[in-house]
Amino acid sequence: MLHIVIYLRDSNRLDVRDYVFVNGQRKYAYHWMNSDGTLRCRWDNAPHWPNVSTAPHHQHLPGQTVPEPSLITNLEDLFAFIANKFPTEL
């Protein structure tokens, strides 16, 4: 079980939960929020959206009631995605 809270340099917060159960099944949720706690994006693999093309993997965006497909399914992809949102420092 992994649960980490990361505060990014712009004061945003990333709540990372990733579990592998004894039977090998995996459950994850990566919740990225603004410094005021509002959602920026959440990625997870909860099975309750079977019609999403990447099911069970999907992402929730602010103001949407139905999630979108997602190819972010691990920490490496998540960190690469978020790192691309920050300008390169000289």
Residue 61 pLDDT = 97
Asked whether residue 89 is domain-assigned, the answer is: no
pLDDT digits (tens, 9 = 90+) for 48-89: 999 999 999 999 999 999 999 999 999 999 999 999 987 765
Q: What is the pLDDT of residues 19-40, one digit of tens each?
A: 999 999 999 999 999 999 999 9
Write out the residue range of the structural domain in which residue 34 sits.
2-83
pTM: 0.90
Q: Is 73 a member of any domain?
A: yes
pLDDT band at 9 (very low <50, low <70, confident <90, very high): confident
Establish if 88 belongs to a structural domain.
Answer: no
Look at residue 90 in the predicted model and tell me its pLDDT.
Answer: 45
Residue 74: phi, psi to the nearest 5?
Answer: -150, 170
| Residue 89: per-residue pLDDT | 58
Q: How many domains does the chain have?
A: 1
How far is CA 57 from each of CA 18, 36, 60, rounded to the nearest angstrom?
13, 26, 10
Of 57, 60, 24, nearest to 42 (Cα)?
Answer: 60
